Amino acid sequence: MPLWNLERAGGVVELVYDNPPRNFLTFAALEELGAHLSDLADDPDAAVIVLASADEDRFIAHADLDELGRLADGPVPEARAWYTTMRLIETMPQPVVAAIDGQAWGGGLELALACTLRWAGPRAHFSAIETALGIIPGAGGSQRLIRLIGRGPATDLVITGLRVDADHAARLGIVSRVLTGDFRAEVRASAAALADLPRAAVAAAKRVLREGAELGLSDALRLEGGAFGELLATPESLRLQQAARERYARAAAGDQVGFGGLGEPA
């Protein structure tokens, strides 16, 4: 029986995790997720991937502790999915959104940190619980967290295991949005708006943000400039630039015009 249920709506693909009773994250779940993502990475109809939960109280509680016990006895080949699936989330062209409304501790937090964007509901809460178990994050959690929110806050969270709620997580920068209405509906609406943006530009932005964070400033600027130059003369970009010029011309003539993903009229 699958642990991830795939649902499509236009360019948005939802992968909904369902592993009762507590939505622990298993090796099998990560392998299954990796297989889905490998297929979706090359799917021209998939613009945005959303990782969600069928459990109303949990995104992913944490890693399955019985499986961690197996690792203590020696290498477990399928455990490699903790690394390969996380890296696939980061490197596939589409943005991957973690939709979190409930518990995201330990491995659940680590999976969320690998995602491109994290959108939380008001009931979301986060904790790097590993030190309480006599271990540390082992799937990139400490390293992604320090790059995301900085050394001081990351050190506090990783060493103490402090539990933070959605608003605190937003202030720290762990999540970019706290959605306070109908969470599932707001996630779908936001993901649909993201899916409507030019896909080549979104993929390039994701790539340069990820790769640039691992480079010195001079190399990162060259990376950004190269991607900008590649996009600038594409047919899609030229068409969108011309459409923007025409909207500005209409605005100068007194028309009220909007710019969609660009925000309010200038």
As a whole number of angstroms, the distance between CA 59 and CA 64 comes to: 14
Neighbours of 190 (CB within 10 A): 19
Same domain? For 141 and 246 the reply is no
Of 195, 211, 238, the one marking the end of a domain is 195
Same domain? For 97 and 159 the reply is yes
Same domain? For 218 and 191 the reply is no
The pLDDT assigned to 266 comes to 47
Same domain? For 190 and 207 the reply is no
Residue 33 within a domain = yes
Instruction: Answer yes or no: 32 catalytic.
Output: no
Residue 26 within a domain = yes
Catalytic residue among 14, 130, 224, 264: 130
Residue 265 within a domain = no
Residue 261 within a domain = no
User: Nearest-CA neighbor of 202 among 119, 261, 114, 118?
Assistant: 261
As a whole number of angstroms, the distance between CA 244 and CA 114 comes to: 34
Of 172, 195, 218, the one marking the end of a domain is 195
Residue 224 within a domain = yes
Same domain? For 103 and 211 the reply is no
CATH number where 221 lies: 1.10.12
CATH number where 68 lies: 3.90.226.10
Same domain? For 183 and 210 the reply is no
The range of the structural domain enclosing residue 137 comes to 4-195
Catalytic residue among 14, 32, 67, 110: 110
Same domain? For 238 and 161 the reply is no
| Cβ pair 172, 136 in contact under 8 A | no
Same domain? For 161 and 79 the reply is yes
Residue 266 within a domain = no
The pLDDT assigned to 256 comes to 63
Q: At what angle do helices 81-91 and 27-41 cross, to 10 degrees?
A: 30
Same domain? For 176 and 252 the reply is no
Neighbours of 65 (CB within 10 A): 10
Residue 210 within a domain = yes
The pLDDT assigned to 89 comes to 98
Instruction: Answer yes or no: 90 catalytic.
Output: no
Of 152, 180, 195, the one marking the end of a domain is 195
User: For every one of its 266 residues, what pLDDT tens digit does the chain have, with 9 covering 90 and above?
Assistant: 899 999 999 999 999 999 999 999 999 999 999 999 999 999 999 999 999 999 999 999 999 999 888 888 888 888 899 999 999 999 999 999 999 999 999 999 999 999 999 999 999 999 999 999 999 999 999 999 999 999 999 999 999 999 999 999 999 999 999 999 999 999 999 999 999 999 999 999 999 999 999 999 999 999 999 999 999 989 899 899 898 888 888 887 776 656 555 444 44
Neighbours of 235 (CB within 10 A): 7
> Which residues does 205 contact at the CB level (< 8 Å), separation at least 6?
none
Residue 86 within a domain = yes
Same domain? For 185 and 235 the reply is no
- Tally of domains in the chain: 2
Same domain? For 176 and 219 the reply is no
User: Nearest-CA neighbor of 32 among 70, 71, 1?
Assistant: 1
The pLDDT assigned to 71 comes to 83
As a whole number of angstroms, the distance between CA 122 and CA 179 comes to: 7
Same domain? For 44 and 128 the reply is yes
